[in-house]
Amino acid sequence: MKRKTLTIGSRGSELALWQARWVESRLRTLHPGLEVRIDVIKTKGDKILDSPLSKIGDKGLFTREIEETLLAGRIDAAVHSLKDLPTELPPGLVIGAVCEREDVRDVFIPHPDNLVRTLAQQALGAQIATGSLRRKCQLLAFRSDLMVIEIRGNLNTRMKKLAESDWAGMILARAGVMRLGWESQIGETLSPEVILPAVGQGALGIEIRSGDTATTQFLTPLIHQPTAEATGAERALLRRLEGGCQVPIGTYGRIMAGAAGASELHLDAMVGSLDGKHVIRGKIHGRPEDAERLGTSLGETLLSGGADRILREIRAMTPQNEPA
């Protein structure tokens, strides 16, 4: 008999719940009669808010407790921001669906009293907040005079901290800002030429138990193949570089029409030093069905072009993570 209930695991932030409820709504529409409920689970990343991500480790920081609940059978699926999901999943778990991607770009959110809306026009030495080494590196590569401020917390917390600060502004992912209806707060949407996004940014990944055919069938209509291919290349790149929150890595995969009209996967990527003084960039394109090979190949190109030295230096300065 076909199962009539499905339990989704989610973090408890407003954005995480927006994402889980979006999946819940789509499942109810696609499968009339299916009962869907959401179980809120607190992760390590939600509990430790007074340390930068780069200092507390990043393997499963926002996913481990949810994955343990999934493996225990207390939930049927876990909705994640794909950029939070490690490239190596625990045994017994797989990605059941990658949903259509939102805008991948980052945005500059100026302080409410700051009338200068663009990043390039901020005053010399302006203070810009971010919790991401990827953004910090690219901000300093774009403008070495900027003072980058560490910030943690969910989007609501960050907005509150910005309003109470004397910072010029902060950098966030456009997808999250748009999902929470805060478009009016955006001063500028930043081109990937200025800041390349994080791996999987703007996409939702739904994790399930391997072999769970019932949940797989429910989720199959949510799969967006172009997004799955583009993010698959990004995740293959990250896997080859063995990177994460502790390493400034940016990448942007997208499906485009080629010269002959056939679809092509284009992938750009960068690896940079923490101070933004050394940035290694590369790009590749090919068939979407070769996504994993393209990501791995671009990772090899970056490593041979100097990224290996940058990564070694960063890891030598960074305390070792706890085992995943």
Do 215 and 172 fall into the same domain? no
Specify whether 92 is located in the same domain as 24: yes
Burial of 229 (0-12, 13-18, 19+ CB in 10 A): buried
> Looking at residues 222-227, what average pLDDT do you find?
98
Whether the CB-CB separation of 78 and 207 falls below 8 Å is answered with yes
Report the number of distinct structural domains present in the chain. 3
Tell me the pLDDT tens digit for each residue of 240-265. 998 766 789 999 999 998 877 899 99
Pair (216, 253) in one structural domain: no
Handedness of CA 237, 239, 240, 246 (dihedral sign): positive
Residues 217 and 263 in one domain: no
Q: Which helix (H) or strand (E) holds 27?
A: helix 14-30
How far apart, in whole angstroms, are the C-alpha atoms of residue 143 and residue 195? Answer: 12
Burial of 178 (0-12, 13-18, 19+ CB in 10 A): middle
What is the per-residue pLDDT for 5? 94
Domain that holds residue 253: 231-317
Q: Is the pTM of this model over 0.85?
A: yes
| pLDDT over 90 percentage in the chain | 83
Distance CA 259, CA 281 (A): 24
Residue positions annotated with a catalytic role? 84
CATH of the domain at 116: 3.40.190.10
What are the tokens at 294?
Answer: 């393209």
Question: Does residue 34 fall inside a structural domain?
Answer: yes
Q: Do the domain assignments include residue 262?
A: yes
322: in domain: no
**H or E element that contains 315:** helix 308-317
Q: What one-character DSSP code corresponds to residue 261? A: S
Average pLDDT in the 22-49 region?
88
